[in-house]
Amino acid sequence: MASPRMIATGIRDPSEVFHYLRSVRHRHPDPENRARRLHRDFNTTNSFETLTDVLRTDIQSLRTYIDEFSSEVKPRVDDCRTEFETKPFEIGGIEVEAPILYASIRIFQPERVVEVGVANGVSSYYILSALAANDNAGTLTSIDLPKYEDDHTGEWDADAGAWIPSGRDVGWIVPDEYRDKWEIQIGSMSDLLPNELYSGSVDAFVYDGPKRYSERKRTFDMVANSAGNCLYFCDDIAWNPSFERWADQNRLRWDTFGNAGLAVDGEL
């Protein structure tokens, strides 16, 4: 059922009602609960076989990179999580699927990565850590419209999502030694991403942006039209099947891991 806010919006702009109804048609029922189930059932070790097929690598290399992530990368984020223990919002970023993202960047060796969604910088840190370990001069460009705790008004929702705590800035988790390979662009994805794609080829695209079915599909189509061999990573697939359908329709090598999807276009 449409909310009173959506009804009021529809009176002003009927096209918004069309987009809303179409997104509801594609949306999984109770996506938050589905995401929790996907996280609960996910096991990195059990994913090795399908992940090696998608990335065209061997299990030993995969184990090496995942162990590297656990021992050298993840502890920093674990330490940062303590700042959120008393907050009514989350740190954000991918969780149990993080080793998959890190290992994929290590194996695919992209020179140019574009990311949508930053918040506190968890996923950005994982990507930049992998790029630094690759030692191939890889760079990351991130696009975000950050939400700051100091700008929040009213009561906090039970599922507030990721916000940036008082006294912190967007991407604060990323250490200084990685920032020379990182560019943050503040603004809407629809405004900034086309220009970023126009400026050069993209080797890897990491998406943690708007969840609407049509917007996700349109975004991945846009990236694919300007990219050659490319690695695609999509968070929050529990909301709708847009990523899986897009990857299948474009005949990519792909699979899902927990609440994330991974696809590869071209040879490694």
Convert the pLDDT of each residue in 206-215 to its tens digit.
Answer: 999 998 999 9
- For residue 6, the model assigns a pLDDT of 45
* Superfamily for domain range 14-149+156-265: Vaccinia Virus protein VP39 (3.40.50.150)
pLDDT in tens, 78-93: 999 999 999 999 998 8
All residue ranges of the chain with pLDDT < 70 are 1-42, 267-268
pLDDT of residue 136: 81
Report the distance separating Cα 163 and Cα 119, nearest Å: 6
pTM reported for the whole predicted model = 0.86
